[in-house]
Amino acid sequence: MERTAAQAGWHVSRYNLSAKVPDSPYIAIANLYKGTCAKYTPIELYLLSALDEISENHPVIERFAGRGVIANFDERAALESMGRAACAAPHTISLTICPTMGCNFDCPYCFEDHFAGKMTKEVQDDVVALAERMLEKGHLNDLGVTWFGGEPLLAPDVIESLSERLIALVEERGGEYNAAIVTNGYLLTAENVAMLERAKCQSAQVTIDGIGDAHNATRHLAGGGPTFDRIIENLSQPLPFKVNIRHNVHEGNRDQMDELKAFIDKLAEESGNDLRYYPAPVSGSDVADNRGKQVGLLCGGTDAEVGIRQDSHRFARGRGHYCGAHSIWSVGIDEKGNLQKCWEAVDKPSISFGTAHDWDPLDPLGTASHPDNLTMYLNTCSPVPDEECRECVWLPTCVGGCPHKRLFEDRSCVPYKDDAEAYVLALHDRIGEQKAAEEEDSADGE
């Protein structure tokens, strides 16, 4: 006798979220494990609920399985396996390098302490040696670098000199080198843009907190003074790389999201540059609190509307790790050569796990000066050390949340955790628009 789909091992995914599509008979279902979102008819929904009745050979089974709304394996166990593999498996070498921890801005919500000084030639030698060691022992040829700080463009000579050496190292191995920079944009001058192009920088992140005074209220110079006009002038010049415009949203500027996005879209059109707006909610930190100038937070650093706008545009298939903090092969390096597992810790040498001079990824604990500072991050990956997280439908998306916040603050759930329908509809709208654009492009090609 022919088996039913259920008898063949098929079951409804534990990671489906659904919402009724307004003014239609359809239901949109997003599968967080597979990273898909599609709309379904009432008949399809009935078939989805009847796996113990329909044949395993029913044509809808292949369609459901391809979208991940049904599975014939334990998806949570698969996520946990991916998490274990991510800790040690060398997919790529990723270095976040801070040429300086100094900064020319004094933003009230910044999570870092800033101090003067820049990376010496000796520390640069250690960084290059570490990169070579990681490439050789990981049997890899490709290297990704993110320039961070402080404000990295306060030390353009360090960026240029290290880039030349790292690029040469990768080219000798026949690999690919790519770089990005996180900068406040104030020093993104024509001279520095040309340098970054030589340094093979492919993208930049620049934060703009609103238009004019709304930006200047939080993104001002360390000694006082506005920064908006100069940053916009810098973004108006020809740029050979894309720029992600981050809007740090707080209670004082949340009403400018649409206005700022329209402003950035217009600036991109007029300049011909690839400028991409995205909002991110401001969260609290001990450093910001100690300044005594904390801006009004959004629900303690979370906001469903902001989170949905941000995350619906970077929807992807589930993964077993949250970020590079869960991988041996991804490290942050401060200007003194201290190694960290998180961007938010590069200004905190007290939780460094080792140095660029001594650390070896093939003996990560034996060569670490403070092994506990390494293992505490790695041990937050999947299987997540929190039973509530392991049972949560959002696990493929958040993977237990930010490791640094879990360790030093509190578990960070997705801000729209209790607003799943709004998230699914945002995904449906975006993916529907994307499909329509693709169909339009196809028709134009014909």
Q: Please tell me the predicted confidence (pLDDT) of residue 296.
A: 54
Q: At what angle do helices 156-172 and 121-137 cross, to 10 degrees?
A: 30
384 lies in a domain? no
Query: Would you put residue 370 in left (φ > 0), alpha (ψ -120 to 50) or beta?
Result: beta
Asked whether the predicted pLDDT for residue 438 surpasses 80, the reply is: no
- Cα distance between residue 33 and residue 31, in whole Å: 6
Distance CA 426, CA 89 (A): 34
In tens, the pLDDT along 364-414 reads 999 999 999 999 999 998 888 889 999 999 999 999 999 998 999 888 888
pLDDT at 290: 56
Residues 146, 31 share a domain? no
User: Could you report the per-residue pLDDT of 5-35, keeping only the tens digit for each?
Assistant: 999 999 999 999 999 999 999 999 999 999 9
Cβ atoms within 10 Å of 378's Cβ, excluding its own: 21
* Bigger pLDDT: 351 vs 299: 351
Q: Is residue 274 part of a domain?
A: yes
> pLDDT per residue over 222-233, tens digit each?
989 999 999 999
The Cα-based distances of 143 to 174, 180, 355 in angstroms read: 11, 12, 19
Structure tokens at 175: 């690999």
Query: Same domain for 144 and 179?
Result: yes
Pair 66, 98 in one domain: no
Residue 361 falls within a domain, yes or no? Answer: no
In this predicted model, what pLDDT tens digit does every residue of 87-97 receive, in sequence order?
Answer: 887 778 999 99
Whether residues 262 and 300 fall in one domain = yes
CA 49 from centre of chain: 35
User: Is residue 112 located within the same domain as residue 20?
Assistant: no
pLDDT at 439 over 60: no
The distance from CA 158 to its chain's CA centroid, rounded to whole angstroms, is 25
pLDDT band of residue 440 (cuts 50, 70, 90) is: very low
What are residue 238's phi and psi, to 5 degrees? Answer: -60, 125
The total number of structural domains in the chain stands at 2
Last residue of a domain, which of 298, 315, 332?
A: 315
Look up tokens 């050390």; give the residue. Answer: 385
Average pLDDT over residues 421-439: 74
Burial of 206 (0-12, 13-18, 19+ CB in 10 A): buried
Distance CA 373, CA 345 (A): 11
pLDDT at 298: 44
Spell out where 108-230 has E strands: 143-147, 177-182, 201-207
C-alpha 355/C-alpha 335 separation (Å) is: 11
Q: Provide the 10 A C-beta neighbour count for residue 269.
A: 10
* Cα atoms in the Cβ-side hemisphere of radius 13 Å centred on 59: 0
In 229-249, which positions are buried (b, 16+ CB within 10 angstroms) versus exposed (e)? ebbbebbeeebebebbbbbbb
How much is the mean pLDDT over the chain? 90
**Residue 113: its pLDDT value, please?**
82
Beta-carbon count within 10 A of 165 CB: 15
210 or 307, higher pLDDT: 210
- Calculate mean pLDDT across residues 199-210: 97
The answer to whether residue 172 is domain-embedded is yes
What CATH code is carried by the domain that includes residue 245? 3.20.20.70
Query: What is the number of alpha carbons within 13 Å of residue 334 lying toward its C-beta?
Result: 28
Between strands 201-207 and 242-249, the pairing is parallel
Is 52 in the same domain as 125?
Answer: no
Residue finishing a domain among 270, 293, 315 = 315
- Look at residue 64 and tell me if it is in a domain: yes
Pair (58, 143) in one structural domain? no
Predicted TM-score (pTM) of the model is 0.88
Over range 59-72, report the average pLDDT: 97
Residues 243, 95 share a domain? yes
Is 216 within the bounds of a domain? yes
Structure tokens at 36: 């898909």
* Structural domain harbouring 283: 91-315
> Per-residue pLDDT tens for 163-190?
999 999 999 999 999 999 999 999 999 9
d(CA 443, CA 446): 5
For residue 288, give the 3-state DSSP assignment. Answer: helix
The pair of structure tokens assigned to 165 is 């050496």
If you count them, how many residues does the chain have? 446
236 within a domain of the structure (yes/no): yes
**What is the per-residue pLDDT for 443?**
40
156 and 289 inside one domain? yes
Query: From CA 294, how far away is CA 297, in angstroms rounded?
Result: 8
Q: d(Cα 222, Cα 110) in Å, to the nearest integer?
A: 12
On the question of pLDDT at 111 being above 90, the answer is no
The verdict on 270 and 158 lying in the same domain is yes
The answer to whether residues 54 and 114 belong to one domain is: no
**CA dihedral (33, 39, 41, 42) positive or negative:** positive
In-domain check, residue 81: no
Contact (CB, 8 A) for 177 and 166: yes
Average pLDDT on 342-348 reads 90
Please give the pLDDT value at position 311: 84
Q: Tell me, yes or no, whether 219 and 272 share the same domain.
A: yes
For residue range 320-338, list pLDDT tens digits in order: 889 999 999 999 999 999 9
Cis upstream peptide for 150 (omega within 30°): yes
Q: Token pair 């949203």 is at which residue? A: 249
- Show which of 288, 315, 342 is a domain's final residue: 315
> Which run of H or of E encompasses 267?
helix 257-271
